[in-house]
Amino acid sequence: MRASFVRRAGQSGQATVEFAIACLVLLPMFIALPLLGKLLDMMQATESASRYVAFEGAARNSASSWKSDAELSAEVRRRFFSSSGAPIKTGDTAGDFTAHRNPMWSDHAGRPLLKSFEDDVKVDTQIQGKNAIAAAKLHADSLKLPDQNWYQGQVTVKIANVEGFAPFDTINLASTRRTVLLADAWTARNLAMVRGRIEDAALLYPIGQVAGLVDALGQTPTLVFDPALKVGNFDWDLVPCDRLIGGC
């Protein structure tokens, strides 16, 4: 009995020591898990920002006006990498202070993972002429179609190193996401623009070049032309009856 008691007394406190050692080993993992989640969240924001840049380019194509990389960078910083309650305002920029930062994107010591919006968030765009359909390339000049329809939006985010926490203290992590869109060359603001393109195209709509003469002839008595002739006097939204099921 005495020997058994001595052995138990010698083992007292062993579990505490083992638990303390396990904590020392697992502590970095407990710190790293939230950090990895924050890094993944920032990468997802980078993906969303690249899609925004690409779709913004498709919406503001060469038929209207392109946004510069500087303008897009400012918009992306405020709308995707700033605080979640940031308003959507033209010309709004993100500042390097607490009110404009995402409170989740900080390390275990509270230091921001984006040190400088202007230096760490960049937008790069590329525009090329790759028409979506062959007809657009053949008649681009006569139809006044844009020839810059391949648009690439790339967003790069530099993430700050975490001081005193290896290996994240020297990793120099950066996230780059790219989205490419091929816009339809026939895009137009409204029906009037589509109609104007076709009517002004001499090769596709030659009668439009003599519209004045035909309209003048259409003013002659209706006994000659019944009804009176007039170029373009039709409803673009009306489908001819011979194209309908059942015919006229």
Above 70 in pLDDT, residue 108?
yes
Q: What digits encode the pLDDT tens for the residues 84-99?
A: 888 888 888 999 999 9
Length of the chain: 248
pLDDT at 203: 75
Q: What digits encode the pLDDT tens for the residues 167-219?
A: 888 999 999 999 998 776 676 777 788 778 777 777 777 777 777 776 676 66
Q: Name the pTM for this structure.
A: 0.66
| Joined tokens for residue 165 | 């926490």
Confidence at 239, pLDDT banded by 50, 70, 90: confident
DSSP 58-93: HHT-TTT-PPPHHHHHHHHHHHHSB-TT----TT--
Q: In degrees, to the nearest 5, what angle opens at C-alpha 86 toward C-alphas 91 and 99?
A: 105
Pick the closest to residue 196 from 215, 240, 205 (CA basis): 205
> For the sheet containing 174-182, what is the strand order?
121-128, 150-158, 174-182
For residues 181 and 128, is the Cβ–Cβ distance under 8 A? no
Above 90 in pLDDT, residue 235?
no
How many Cα atoms within 13 Å fall on the side-chain side of residue 5?
A: 2
Torsion from C-alpha of 212, 216, 219, 222, nearest 10 degrees: -100
Q: Across the chain, what does the average pLDDT equal?
A: 79
pLDDT at 48: 95
* 143 or 162: which leads in pLDDT: 162
CB-count exposure of residue 154 (10 Å: 0-12, 13-18, 19+): buried
Q: Mutual orientation of helices 14-59 and 69-80 as an angle, nearest 10°?
A: 140
Above 60 in pLDDT, residue 112?
yes
Query: Positive or negative, the Cα torsion across 241, 203, 181, 192?
Result: negative
